[in-house]
């Protein structure tokens, strides 16, 4: 299966829509209390973007290959278990990707200014560019 890499411009547009959607979620859902971070994430995933043509979860699924993974204690365990049981290289436990996307949403919600946003985009873009380069070599 051949991978498709989004362009820098597409990644930027997707991430801006994601940022706007997460901010819109925060403004619309201030009075909701969640049982835990997983239930909050599930609610965020299914939250429709302002443009109503997709959900935040759809955006996260598209940009997943470019999300930097933080290895917290919880998702480190998912990662190790996934690596030990994977049938194919690159096939990770879905719980690891799910936790990585949750961590990314939490990180986006904590961004305070445009400089932090630019730094976050730069990391995602670096991952995207590296994947594009690796794909070109094959």
Lowest mean pLDDT among 1-5, 15-19, 21-25, 26-30: 1-5
CA atoms within 13 A on the CB side of 129: 9
The per-residue pLDDT for range 40-97, each reduced to its tens digit, is 778 888 887 766 678 888 899 899 888 887 656 665 666 666 656 655 545 556 667 7
Radius of gyration of the chain (CA): 16
The per-residue pLDDT for range 102-116, each reduced to its tens digit, is 888 888 888 889 999
Question: What's the whole-model pTM score?
Answer: 0.75
Alpha-carbon distance 130 to 34, whole Å? Answer: 37
């Amino acid at each position: 299966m051949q991978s498709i890499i989004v362009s820098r411009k597409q990644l930027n547009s997707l991430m801006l829509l994601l940022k706007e959607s997460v901010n819109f979620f925060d403004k619309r859902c201030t009075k909701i209390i969640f049982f835990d971070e997983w239930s909050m994430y599930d609610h965020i995933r299914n939250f429709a973007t302002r443009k109503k043509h997709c959900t935040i979860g759809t955006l996260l699924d598209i940009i997943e290959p470019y999300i930097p993974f933080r290895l917290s204690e919880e998702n480190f365990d998912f990662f190790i278990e996934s690596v030990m049981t994977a049938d194919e290289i690159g096939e990770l436990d879905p719980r690891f990707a799910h936790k990585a996307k949750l961590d990314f949403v939490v990180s986006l919600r904590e961004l305070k200014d445009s400089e932090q946003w630019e730094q976050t985009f730069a990391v995602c873009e670096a991952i995207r560019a590296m994947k594009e380069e690796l794909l070109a070599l094959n």
